[in-house]
Structure 1
Amino acid sequence: MISFFLCLIALVAGYFTYGKLVDSTFGPDDRETPAVRINDGVDYVVMPQWKLFLVQLLNIAGLGPIFGALQGALWGPVVFLWITCGTIFAGGVHDYFSGMLSERNNGGSISEVTGKYLGGAMKNVMRVFSVVLLVMVGTVFAKGPASLIVKMIDPAGTGTGLLANGSFWLAIILLYYFIATFISIDAIIGRIYPIFGICLIAMAVGVIFGIMTNPAYTIPEIWTNFYNMHPKGTPIWSFMFITVACGAISGFHSTQSPLMARCLKSEKQGHFVFYGAMVGEGIIALVWAAAGCAIYEKTGGLSTGLQESLAGGQSAAVYDVCVKTMGSVGVALAMLGVIACPITSGDTAFRSARLTIADWAGLDMKNWKTRLMLTIPVLGAGAIISQLDYTIVWRYFSWTNQTLAMIVLWAASMYLFREKKNYWITAVPATFMSAVSATYFILAPECLGGFVNQKTAEGATIYNTMVAYPIGIIVAILFLGLFLKATKKPAKA
């Protein structure tokens, strides 16, 4: 349990130290923000700082720091290190710069922002990339809550009755998404989402309190379990870094930060709203990872109990953790925290998709007919994707998610270079994530893994790390080299 608290303290300290360094590197000033200058009553609306923080936390969190952290706990308490270091040195930096660069560019979508600093070709790539990711996220954050509602209504799995039908609840959630995507950001999101943000925090507090007060549960220490505990032997690098995603660094956050960038009253709110919300998410992820490591039995030093729980579905595992740590209170918090909160991320994902397309096409969102014209096809695409297997959508989302984070960090590095500021604060995590994304692309079964990996006679995967690891490193060095080469061009002019 000492490891857990050391990581928790490091996250809080990271906000006040490294987070402040990131903020001072960017240099917020007293210029008029887009929320004040543009204020259209739909997407550009001034909100108080406390509300901005809670809405941002909900927008970026959803199922991510819960599902991803539980899956990450399969590797054991070593996941604590990634959640902590990833949040402080990568995720917080990524979220801060994606929000503040949007704010500096009239609240522009992340595709438009990256295009400004990485060129027109990357802008077009990011436009497509962002919309596809956002629709996938919206779909993931619809199917997950729908499954959990069914689990709570029909724990025995009889499947009888309309309310025990996942498709019924999925349709209800998508209908809500349509409404929330279409109307003003302050009509629903600004009014009730802070309440759900508090519920998400309360659920994490309840889980860790339940673990600490139950003598049957012990959070293992990193130093006594510093090895790969995954039952399938899946490599830590780079699968754990991709799986945890939202609990450490997530490209999805860069698509959400512009929503709040359009609502800041002052640039000086950025440290608390963007970096602070990421630290909050890191703490939530740390709690859920600790739960996965503490509650379930180990066999031969491997996380077999957690694997068995997750085999019944991620929603079922979350439900199980809530019941074991909080009893009947946990069921109520699971309803609020793990159903309402992901829904609140899903609707803002579809909203961001609408705004990305609007920025792409140069459309004015004040006109309700134009908003309707974009909302219908975006939600229609989500309804189609929702029919695919959930685990497949999640895997593709995970890699796409981290690759987007990598691109955003490179864009932030170019911005800092142009401003003659310390670009290493973003270039280092950008290089790291380049290696992570490239390695995963080689090894993952949904990417090139089927070609480079092998199978044992029993069907277990033998990962070809001898090929993937060097390629990942080479790709990272190549990207860093291209960036450094770009920084030399102005000097030659």
Structure 2
Amino acid sequence: MITFLICFAVLVGAYFIYGRYLERTIGADPDREPPCRSRYDGVDYLPLPKWKTFLIQLLNIAGLGPIFGALLGAMYGPVAFLWITLGGILIGGLHDYVSGMISMKMGGLSLPEIVGRYLGPVMKQSMRAVTLLLMVLVGAVFLVGPAGILQGMTGMNQSTWIWIILLYYILATLLPIDKIIGRIYPLFGAALFFMALGILYVLLFDAYTIPELSAGNWHNFKTDAARFPIFPTLFITIACGAVSGFHATQSPLMARCLQNEQQGKPVFFGAMISESLIALVWAAAGMAFWGGPEELNTTLAEHGDNAAWAVNEITRTTLGKFGAVLALLGVVVAPITSGDSAFRSARLIAADFLHLEQRAIRRRLYISIPLFVVGFAITLMNFGVIWQYFAWVNQTLAAVTLWTITVYLTVRHKNFWIALLPSIFMTQVVTLYILIAPEGLLLPYWTGFGIANAINAFITILFFRYRIRRCNDIFPENEGDEGDEEDKEHEDSPVDNRNGSELPIR
């Protein structure tokens, strides 16, 4: 219990201390005109209240990640607490806050365009392809999964549910963000919080024992520990709740709705810390509910490592009928809301690189129809082979985003070490994983570790020897820190919809 409480307190404290440091480092200016006003279009660029943007951002980045991932990560033992806490603050918090703020300072630009700005045209083209595929794949998976669950609950044919959910996705993707997402996401985001608070109350005041992280517990509790080493497998298993590249694809949605830059800390950093707190609670619940990480491994193995079953069992037992309703919201609604925001992000990513403004509905249809056709086609395929690479691609996306942040801070003469060290760490994680994992090259662990070290060292040397010099050629050293350069770069952007019209008061 002591380890859990310390980690919980550190996460809360980090919001005020480290969050404030990041805010000063990035230069959050409350007087700078936000994209929701300078580029207002009434569809994607429009001001929303801070509390709404926070809950929307939380649900966008969370979904089932901090629940399912945390439960599966708890199978490694109390070391999961350490990764959720330090990862959520030093890597995930930095990743989400700075990438969201860069997007806001660059007019709400999507991730691939930002990466291209700082890592070059080759990375930009690669990120365009990868993020679009990732978004459509997420949308397709979160179309089929909930439809299957709803079929089992209602008896209605799965294909019927797929069409119903697809219709919702189309409306949520095409309509202005305040019409559907802005109205229902806060409700479901609050439900995610209430579920976690209910589980937290049970853990603190009922007869449950949360394992401590001690010298005796500092080892891998997985049944087949040799096949699933803590480093790097734990850091791939627990993504949402620690760090997830998917988050950086979602932040531009809220970067286009925040009303000033100082709202970035509670929305971007605050949502990440909140997600880490939720993940911490669920990791503790997984270990405590069945009596320890060994028992958790045994129980989940008997049920095919089905995290959805575990969530239902924990909530139904500890929270009764109310818990069963919350579990339903978590297992069905959370993935649906992640799916619709994935398709909406895909539309915005495509619109940015096609230079197609989105005020007119027909322009949104030009982009959305092909995306939904591809997404529906994926549901008819056996995409299991593709999906098994999702976790690795997601964390690789996080590593690329962290390197982008490192260069961004470097060329503005900020403290780039706060991003460089996480970049090196995550590069080591994703490189080693693909070298030794069953879906990778299956190399011996230490062979893969040596190769990953060499690759990581090469990338780091490139950063110090070439990237800084190149970026200083592009961005003059006397460039201001107030974001003037971002304005100049994007003042003629096709998503810039200044029309002099008066904004609605919200």
TM-score normalised over the length of structure 2? 0.88
State the match for 2:426 in structure 1. 433
Matched, 1:220 2:220: no
* Residues in 2 aligned to 1:138 and 1:189: alpha-carbon distance in whole angstroms: 15
The change in CA–CA distance for 1:301 and 1:328 in structure 2 (over 3 A counts) is closer
State the match for 1:287 in structure 2. 281
Q: For residues 171-222 of structure 1, what are the alpha-carbon distances to aligned partners after superposition, in whole Å with 9 as ceiling and x for unaligned?
A: 322221111111111111112211111100001111222333442x321111
Shift of 1:150: 4.4
Shift of 1:149: 3.4
AA of the residue aligned to 2:394: N
* Residues in 2 aligned to 1:42 and 1:257: alpha-carbon distance in whole angstroms: 16
Matched, 1:304 2:298: yes
State the match for 1:5 in structure 2. 5
Give structure 1 regions of 4+ aligned residues with deviation exceeding 6 angstroms. 299-302, 490-493
State the match for 2:24 in structure 1. 24
* Residues in 1 aligned to 2:305 and 2:300: alpha-carbon distance in whole angstroms: 10
* Residues in 1 aligned to 2:144 and 2:78: alpha-carbon distance in whole angstroms: 29
User: Aligned residues: percent identity?
Assistant: 48
* Residues in 1 aligned to 2:293 and 2:233: alpha-carbon distance in whole angstroms: 22
Which of 166, 173, 176 is the equivalent residue of 1:174?
A: 166
Matched, 1:469 2:468: no
State the match for 2:66 in structure 1. 65
Shift of 1:382: 2.0
Matched, 1:254 2:248: yes
* Residues in 2 aligned to 1:190 and 1:135: alpha-carbon distance in whole angstroms: 22
CA contact (8 A) 1:134 1:350 kept: yes
CA contact (8 A) 1:231 1:302 kept: no
Matched, 1:320 2:301: no
AA of the residue aligned to 2:93: G
Q: For residues 127-162 of structure 1, what are the alpha-carbon distances to aligned partners after superposition, in whole Å with 9 as ceiling and x for unaligned?
A: 0011111112223333343344345x27xxxxxx32
The change in CA–CA distance for 1:146 and 1:209 in structure 2 (over 3 A counts) is farther
CA contact (8 A) 1:4 1:290 kept: yes
State the match for 2:150 in structure 1. 149
Matched, 1:384 2:377: yes
AA of the residue aligned to 2:468: T
* Residues in 1 aligned to 2:360 and 2:294: alpha-carbon distance in whole angstroms: 62
The change in CA–CA distance for 1:325 and 1:139 in structure 2 (over 3 A counts) is farther
CA contact (8 A) 2:71 2:286 kept: yes
Matched, 1:244 2:269: no
Matched, 1:481 2:473: no
Matched, 1:207 2:199: yes
AA of the residue aligned to 2:261: E
AA of the residue aligned to 2:222: H
State the match for 1:369 in structure 2. 362
Q: For residues 312-342 of structure 1, what are the alpha-carbon distances to aligned partners after superposition, in whole Å with 9 as ceiling and x for unaligned?
A: 6332222122112212111111122332222
Shift of 1:394: 4.4
Q: For residues 23-46 of structure 1, what are the alpha-carbon distances to aligned partners after superposition, in whole Å with 9 as ceiling and x for unaligned?
A: 111011121111111110000010
AA of the residue aligned to 2:298: T
The change in CA–CA distance for 1:145 and 1:302 in structure 2 (over 3 A counts) is closer
* Residues in 2 aligned to 1:341 and 1:447: alpha-carbon distance in whole angstroms: 30
Q: For residues 383-440 of structure 1, what are the alpha-carbon distances to aligned partners after superposition, in whole Å with 9 as ceiling and x for unaligned?
A: 2333456765543211111101111111111111111111111111111100001011
Unpaired stretches in structure 2, ≥5 consecutive residues: 477-506
State the match for 1:456 in structure 2. none
CA contact (8 A) 1:75 1:229 kept: yes
TM-score normalised over the length of structure 1? 0.91
* Residues in 2 aligned to 1:187 and 1:384: alpha-carbon distance in whole angstroms: 28
Shift of 1:95: 0.4
Q: Tell me whether 7-16 or 473-482 shows the greater mean CA deviation.
A: 473-482
The change in CA–CA distance for 1:211 and 1:48 in structure 2 (over 3 A counts) is same
* Residues in 2 aligned to 1:120 and 1:100: alpha-carbon distance in whole angstroms: 22
Task: Say how many residue pairs are matched.
Answer: 469
CA contact (8 A) 1:413 1:423 kept: yes
CA contact (8 A) 1:103 1:258 kept: yes
* Residues in 1 aligned to 2:309 and 2:16: alpha-carbon distance in whole angstroms: 36
CA contact (8 A) 2:77 2:293 kept: no
Which of 252, 258, 263 is the equivalent residue of 1:264?
A: 258
CA contact (8 A) 2:69 2:240 kept: yes
AA of the residue aligned to 2:20: K
CA contact (8 A) 1:298 1:304 kept: no
CA contact (8 A) 1:144 1:315 kept: no
CA contact (8 A) 2:287 2:293 kept: no
* Residues in 1 aligned to 2:387 and 2:4: alpha-carbon distance in whole angstroms: 27
Matched, 1:81 2:95: no
CA contact (8 A) 1:148 1:319 kept: no
In the TM superposition, 1:445-464 aligns within 5 A as 445-449=438-442, 452=443, 464=444
State the match for 1:115 in structure 2. 116
State the match for 2:491 in structure 1. none
State the match for 1:188 in structure 2. 180
State the match for 2:402 in structure 1. 409
CA contact (8 A) 1:296 1:306 kept: no
Unpaired stretches in structure 1, ≥5 consecutive residues: 155-160, 453-463
State the match for 2:503 in structure 1. none
State the match for 1:461 in structure 2. none
Question: Which secondary structure state, in structure 2, belongs to the residue aligned with residue 366 of structure 1?
Answer: coil
Question: Which secondary structure state, in structure 1, belongs to the residue aligned with residue 41 of structure 2?
Answer: coil
Question: Which secondary structure state, in structure 1, belongs to the residue aligned with residue 415 of structure 2?
Answer: coil
Q: For residues 332-360 of structure 1, what are the alpha-carbon distances to aligned partners after superposition, in whole Å with 9 as ceiling and x for unaligned?
A: 11122332222212111110001111111
